[in-house]
Amino acid sequence: MPANTCGHLEAIETVKHPKQRECAECVKTGDRWVHLRTCQECGVTLCCDSSPNRHASHHARASKHPVIASGEIGERWLYCFPDDAFVEY
């Protein structure tokens, strides 16, 4: 993935990490997820686009919170939905 950045990514000083290693929406319904993503605006941890429910994408669109971080151990990157920007940190 090419590294490109945007104002949203540049504004992030401290990356929010998952408080719990689970999708906050999937656990309510007993659904499964593949990977975890943490919203950098409100700190909620939700599931990725490879997961059946794509909760992180839906959250970004509905709440207009642009940036997520990977919630996976060993992955250190941020992604901005509106700008399709990606950066490793």
Per CB under 5 A, residues contacting Zn ion are 6, 8, 23, 25-26, 33, 39, 41-42, 47, 53, 55, 63, 65, 80, 83
CB of 25 to Zn ion, least distance (A): 4
Q: CA 71, 15, 18: angle at the middle one, nearest 5?
A: 35
Q: Output 23 or 87, the one with its CB closest to Zn ion.
A: 23
Of 28 and 73, the one with the shorter C-beta distance to Zn ion is 28
SS3 85: strand
Q: Are 23 and 55 in contact (CB under 8 A)?
A: yes
Q: CB of 50: closest distance to Zn ion in angstroms? A: 11
Task: Return phi, psi of residue 64, to 5°.
Answer: 60, 30
- Nearest approach, Cβ of residue 49 and Zn ion (Å): 11
| Residue whose CB is less far from Zn ion, 28 or 74 | 28
* CA pair distance 54, 33, nearest whole angstrom: 8
